[in-house]
Structures are given as C-alpha cells and as structure tokens.
Amino acid sequence: MAEKITTYYSYVLALTIILLLFGLALGPLAPIDEPTYFPGYDLQIPVGLSFSGFILLIIFIISVILFWGSKNIFLNVLIDASSLSFSIVNYINFYLVYVIWKPIMYLLPFFFYIRYDGISTLVFDFGQIALIIFFYRLYKNIKTRRTYKSV
C-alpha cells in the first residue's frame, strides 16, 4: 500500500511542476500599466506572478468543486497538484512583495498582516487554505491507505 501512496504523490509532484510551468508561462500575458504609476519599480515580474497565481487558483477552485470525492486517480492528482502549485506561486509572490517594497509582514492564521508606509491591511491568504486542503487529503490518504481507480 505504501508503494501506491508514494506513486500517487510522485504523480502529484510531476503534475505540480507541469502546472507551475503552465501558470508561469501565462504570467507575461498579464495586462500591466503600473510603470505609469510607479516609475521607480519594474513590476512586470510581480504582476505576472500574481496573474499566474490567479490562474492556478482558478484551476484549484474548479477542480475542488467539480472533482472532490472522485475515485479517479487523475482527478485527485489534479486537486492535490493544483493546491501545491498555487501555494508555491502564492508564497513566491508574497516574497517578491517583501523584496520590492520591504513592508512589515506577519503571517497570521488565514491572513497576512502587511504594514507599509503607515498603512496597515489584512490580506486573506488563499495559499493557507490550499495547503490545509492538501495536508487534509494527504492525512486522509495515509490513514485510509486509499487506492484510486486508474484512468
């Protein structure tokens, strides 16, 4: 049984890499007019990464809504891989925000507290939700030693 779980998560990692490459390839398609407002910063990379994260978030939400509870291995791999790929891009994006503007950032449960130039805000963190779903499914798969039907 452990072999089936490790094989399943090797598929998840492979599809995560494919989804990351797909999402990052769509990043340059993001419409950007920030250089007119922030002439001192090159925001093409963070805006493109945010756009990639949005695409991966949409893939994650749609796959969870449509395919949760499916016995098909590919659909379950898609749910887990989309959650991982979105979380990776999400936290890289928060890191870039930190590197570019140097705000004060605190990771809170389900939120990021960001303080910049005297202004504070709470930003809802979808990456934590995606990671919670991923680890819940991982725990459930290990506990029940679930096997999926092949495609």
pLDDT digits (tens, 9 = 90+) for 64-116: 999 998 888 899 999 999 999 999 999 999 998 898 888 999 999 999 999 99
3-state SS assignment for residue 111: strand
Confirm if 95 and 136 have CB atoms less than 8 A apart: no
Q: Hey, what are 98's tokens?
A: 């930190």
Q: What is the largest CA-CA distance in the chain?
A: 57
3-state SS assignment for residue 42: coil
Cβ-Cβ contacts under 8 Å for 31 (sequence gap 6 or more): none
Cβ-Cβ contacts under 8 Å for 39 (sequence gap 6 or more): none
Query: What are the pLDDT digits (tens) for 21-52?
Result: 999 999 888 877 655 566 666 677 888 899 99
Backbone angles phi, psi at 55, to 5 degrees: -60, -45
Q: Hey, what are 52's tokens?
A: 């990639």
Q: Is the pTM of this model over 0.75?
A: yes
**H/E element, 104:** strand 104-108
